[in-house]
A and B are shown apart, each in its own frame.
Chain A
Amino acid sequence: MKSMMVSKVVRNVVRYFFCVIVVLCIAVPLYISVMGGFKELGQLRAAPMSIPDPFNVNQYLDLLSGARGSFWRQLGNSLITGIGTVAVVLFAGTLAGYALARIRFKLNGAIYKFFQLGLLFPLTVAILPLYLQLRTFGLLDRYLGVILPQAAFQLAMMIMLLRGFIKAIPVELAEAAAIDGYGHFNFLFKIVLPLSTPILTTVGVLTLVTSWNNFFTPLLVFNDPIRYTLPMGVMDFMGEHAADWNMILAFLTLAMVPAVILYIVGQKYIVAGLTSGAIKG
């Protein structure tokens, strides 16, 4: 009995040691970024790990006031492309997901398979023709030029999630609605959508996160710095302030804040969406 107690204690010590090491591996870089933004260059060079002394808020103030860099505008650009992508995915994805789940027609299976092709095609394969196409349509340096391709490459996955959910809504509800003489539009808007908030939120949050962190598509489409999103802004800022690491770290820290907030607010939905394939179907 005693040896079991001892082994339990040992096991706990090992477990905490393991977890704390991993926590440190994540926390130390983040700590360095936040604190580095408060340091003067000399101190950052001499002691990157220390607490800032003196606490110098100038870097953050310069960025927030717009004296250096374009944090707010880039945040706005990230928001516009992100919300735009979410809107397109939810609109097109819900309509298609509903039709594929609830309407019987000849090509239903074929169209579903067609969308599933999207899971096979990564953005990288299409990137060069996509660039030329956007140029032909005059969508380079336009928000839509990022929103539409991002939405297009999310659709396959999201239609799958939405169709699966809508299919699982009990049939009795549909029968009751049919008796009430609802058409498909009424049924979708009055019955399916209110019941689908969890999946709509999952799809929305997941799309927003993907768009928020996306670098490849904006890099392709936005040449004009006025359109730069935050990840592009970070690269650009680093190029311009190559030696001022305290400024760069302050910028990084500010650029991380929205993602961290999004994580705290949407954690449940992000995890649910990303792991939906992990459990037995």
Chain B
Amino acid sequence: MASRARFPTLVVFLAPALIIFTALVIIPVFEAAIFSFYKWNGLGAMVDFRGLENYLRFFKDAIIHKALLHNFIIAVVSLVLELPLAMALAVTVSDRKFKGAVFFRTFFFLPYMLSEVITGVLWQFIYHPQYGIVRSLFELFLPGVHPPALMGNTSTVLWAILLVVIWKYFGLHMTIYIAGLQDIPQEQIEAATIDGASRWQIFRKVTLPGMRNAVQLSVFFSIIGSFQLFDIVWAMGKGGPANAGETIVTYLYTTGLQRFNIGYGSTIAVCLFLICLVFSFFYERIVARERT
């Protein structure tokens, strides 16, 4: 019934969502853009206009450079390791003749259901130099060697976090791929098999092109997610030690809500948003070009 309605009816239907959405999503985003030009601690009047000072600071800030590099490493490693792993598992458990497939795929998704904080704390135990599993493995295979404090060492902490990120999220990507695989007509694969194509050829020429939507979606989620990472990192040492695990959002949180530097914090937020926006824009472009 695509019909008309009287104005009051329309208001009743749309007002709740519009009010909540405008007040708590749209307005704060624009406010962040305004705050980013000021020096302000969030109390009293916002009067100390600083022009582009915060933005210049952003580009020169050594911690920002570190954090951006970390986010970038997380994004790249996720693309190179996590997504292929998820794809291999999706193809494996999508075979109807593979007994136990349903169990495997259900179980592989389980980590995604656990909260980031619970996951992070659990892995802190696993990495713990006095208790953890890493220590046990060292005692088993390298007796006499001191186990490293993976979470306390600036050269290992990022990789320790990355492993947890993969552990937690590969199931989501696998599930997206499984949905994409189900969308491929079985006849195409059968036809290719009859033509004598090898499994790898079928995967490259039939399966992968047929899953274009699923792959695009998962790559998008993975990259945006890598740049928005907060909870796991916070639960695993709040970005420390010495900023070695810092990500953009942990730095944003400490700057804005622990040091109450609302102005510079907003600048970080706006820059992060612009990075994601520019990425989405080019990603859409590339995706659209590939379609034609």
Contact = CB atoms under 8 A, between A and B. Distances in A.
A63 B211 CA distance: 47
Contact of B114 (A28, A45, A256): A256
B213 interface: yes
Contacts of B262: 128, 132
Interface in B1-44: 1-5, 9-10, 12-14, 16-18, 20-21, 23-29, 31-32, 35, 42
A128 B2 contact: no
A257 B74 CA distance: 29
Given A29-B123, A105-B10, A271 B32 contact: no
Given A102-B1, A259-B113, 9 more contacts: A26-B107, A95-B12, A124-B230, A124-B272, A132-B262, A152-B24, A215-B116, A249-B122, A255-B118
Contacts, number: 290
Contact of B133 (A48, A126, A175): A48
Contact of B16 (A92, A114, A215, A216): A92
A171 B1 CA distance: 6
B131 A220 contact: no
Task: Specify the main secondary structure of chain A where it touches its partner.
Answer: helix
Contacts of B218: 278
Interface in B182-203: 182-183
Contact of A129 (B2, B31, B125): B31
Nearest to A151: B20
Contacts of B252: 124, 127
A103 B4 contact: yes
Interface in B87-125: 88-89, 92-93, 98, 100, 104, 106-111, 113-118, 121-125
A92 B22 CA distance: 13
B213 A279 contact: yes
A235 B3 contact: no
A15 interface: yes
B210 to A, nearest CB: 9
Contacts of A248: 121, 125
Contact of A19 (B42, B92, B230, B270): B92
B81 interface: no
A124 B29 CA distance: 9
Interface residues of A, number: 101
Interface residues of B, number: 92
5 contacts: A19-B89, A115-B17, A124-B230, A126-B28, A128-B42
Contacts of B177: 278
A79 interface: no
Contact of B136 (A49, A117, A121): A49
Nearest to B13: A99
Contacts of A88: 20
A159 B272 CA distance: 25
Contacts of B136: 47-49
A32 interface: yes
B172 interface: yes
A133 B117 CA distance: 26
A209 interface: yes
A119 to B, nearest CB: 9
Interface string A200-220: 000000000100110110011
A267 interface: yes
B180 A279 contact: yes
